[in-house]
Amino acid sequence: TLRLICTTTAVQRKNVGASGPEKYTEAFIKKQIEEFNLGKRHLANMMGEDPETFTQEDIDRAIAYLFPSGLFDKQARPMMKHPTEVFPEQRKIQWGEDGRPFHFLFYTGKQSYYSLMHETYEKFLNVQKHQDQLIAQDLPLQKEKRNLAGSRWLTKIELEEMLLEKLSDDDYSRFIQLLQKLVALPCADIEENYIQKFCKEVPVQLQRVVIEPLQYDEQGVAFSTGEGKRKTARATAIVYDNGTGKITVNGTDILHYFPVLQDREQLLFPFQFLGRIGKHDMVCTVSGGGRSAQAGAIRLASAKALRSFVTEKEVEFMRQAGLLTVDPRVKERKKPGQEGPRRKFTWKKR
C-alpha cells in the first residue's frame, strides 16, 4: 500500500466532489454563474477596463489590488473564480423516480470503481485472447517497450476526480497493479487508447529553463550573471572568463568574509564540480541571512551564472548534483500553545 510520509500541503487537497450526492442543486449553480458574470462586469467598470474583454487574470490582479492580503495559504486569500472552479463537479442522483438505481452495481457502494475494474479486466482478457491467437498462428509477438520515464499513472486524487467517488488506498493500489499487469503483456498495444486515459505526461526533460547567452564587457572578456537565494539571503554573482580564480564578496576577499572552511568549500563547489577552479573570476554581492545561508545563496548564484559557460550535458549533471535547485527549507514558525516549532511546554501533572 502507498503511505505518504513526507508531504506538502499541496498534495493534501480534499476531493469534495466525491463526498456524496448533490449538495448544491443545479439551479443554485446557475444562479452563482449569473452573479459571477454580473460581478465581473461591475469589477471591470470599477477598474476602468472594458467589461467585454475582462479575463480571469485581470480579475485576479484586480482582487489582489483591492483586497491585499499577506496570509500564507493562497487558498485563504480573497479570490473570485468561476463557480465551476469553486464548486467541484458532483454526481447526479443515481436512481430514477421509482427508486430503482440506474447502474447494476449501485448496491456495491462504489459503483464507478467496480465498473472500472470490470472494464480493465475485460481489456486484459481481450489482450490475452489476442496473444493466444497470435501464438496459435505462430506469428511473432510485438514487444515495443513503452517509455516509462516520460509518463506517470494518475494519482489517487486525480482518479477520485475522474470517477467522482471516494477511493481507499487499497482500491487505488489494486487498480494501479491491474494496469501495470495489463501494460506488462507483450500485445498491450491494442488497448493503448484505453490505457492513455490513465496516464499523464511528465515533461520528459526538466530543462525548461532558458540558458542565457554570454555577455562581453569592454575588454572583450566574457561574463555572465546569476542570482541565488537561501533562507533570507539574496546574492548576485558575476562570473568572468580568463580569470585567476579570485573571488570577491561585497568588496572583500572570501578569506576575510568567510573565515569558516565549510562556507569556502560551498563557494568552490560548482567550480570544482565542473573542473574550472583557476579559470574563472567571480564578483558577488550578498545581503541578508546568516553565515551559512549567504554561502548557499552565492553557491546557487554562481552555479546559475556558470550555466552559460558550459555544455547542456554538464548543465544536466549540475542539476542532478543538486546545484541548481533553490533550497526551500526555511525556519519553521512557532505555534501557539507550544514553546517552539516542535518543542511543547513542560508537562506538569498538576
Which of 268, 283, 285, 310: binder of another protein (CB under 8 A)? 268
Sign of the torsion formed by the C-alpha atoms of 271, 274, 278 and 281: negative
Q: Can residue 316 be called a binding residue for another protein (CB under 8 A)?
A: yes
The runs of H, that is alpha helices, within 185-336 are: 192-196, 254-257, 261-274, 291-306, 312-320
Q: Can residue 327 be called a binding residue for another protein (CB under 8 A)?
A: yes
Sign of the torsion formed by the C-alpha atoms of 204, 209, 210 and 213: negative
Q: What nine digits make up the cell of 273?
A: 564540480
The count of chain residues that interact with another protein, using the rule CB under 8 A, is 44
Residue in 169, 189, 177 with CA at minimum distance from that of residue 123? 189
Which of 108, 128, 180, 320: binder of another protein (CB under 8 A)? 320
Q: What nine digits make up the cell of 24?
A: 448544491
Q: Can residue 7 be called a binding residue for another protein (CB under 8 A)?
A: yes
Q: Can residue 153 be called a binding residue for another protein (CB under 8 A)?
A: no
Which of 86, 202, 211, 214: binder of another protein (CB under 8 A)? 202
Q: Which stretch binds another protein (CB under 8 A): 52-60, 124-132, 159-167, 258-266?
A: 258-266
Return the SS3 of 255: helix
Q: How many CB atoms lie within 10 A of CB 247?
A: 23
Which of 128, 242, 272, 287: binder of another protein (CB under 8 A)? 272
Question: Cell 512557532 maps to which residue?
Answer: 334
Burial of 340 per CB tally in 10 Å (0-12, 13-18, 19+) = exposed
Q: Can residue 338 be called a binding residue for another protein (CB under 8 A)?
A: no
Return the SS3 of 95: strand
Q: Can residue 4 be called a binding residue for another protein (CB under 8 A)?
A: yes
Among residues 16 and 214, whose Cβ is nearest to another protein? 16
Return the SS3 of 146: coil
Which of 220, 328, 336, 337: binder of another protein (CB under 8 A)? 328
Work out how close the CB of 36 gets to another protein at its nearest, in angstroms, rounded to a whole number.
32
Q: Can residue 330 be called a binding residue for another protein (CB under 8 A)?
A: yes
Which of 204, 209, 211, 214: binder of another protein (CB under 8 A)? 204
The residues pairing with 252 across neighbouring beta strands, listed in sequence order, are 249
Which of 163, 296, 305, 308: binder of another protein (CB under 8 A)? 296
The residues pairing with 101 across neighbouring beta strands, listed in sequence order, are 95
Q: In whole angstroms, what is the distance from residue 326 CA to residue 268 CA?
A: 17
Show contacts with another protein in window 206-225 (CB under 8 A): 206
Q: Can residue 16 be called a binding residue for another protein (CB under 8 A)?
A: no
Q: Can residue 325 be called a binding residue for another protein (CB under 8 A)?
A: yes
Binding characters for another protein, 25-44, by CB under 8 A (x = yes): --------------------
57, containing H or E segment = helix 56-66
Radius of gyration in angstroms for the set of CA atoms belonging to the chain, rounded to a whole number: 29
Work out how close the CB of 314 gets to another protein at its nearest, in angstroms, rounded to a whole number.
9
Q: Can residue 184 be called a binding residue for another protein (CB under 8 A)?
A: no
Q: In whole angstroms, what is the distance from residue 43 CA to residue 47 CA?
A: 6
The contact set with another protein (CB under 8 A) reads 3-8, 10-12, 148-150, 169, 202-206, 260-262, 265-266, 268-269, 272-273, 292, 295-296, 300, 316-317, 319-323, 325-330
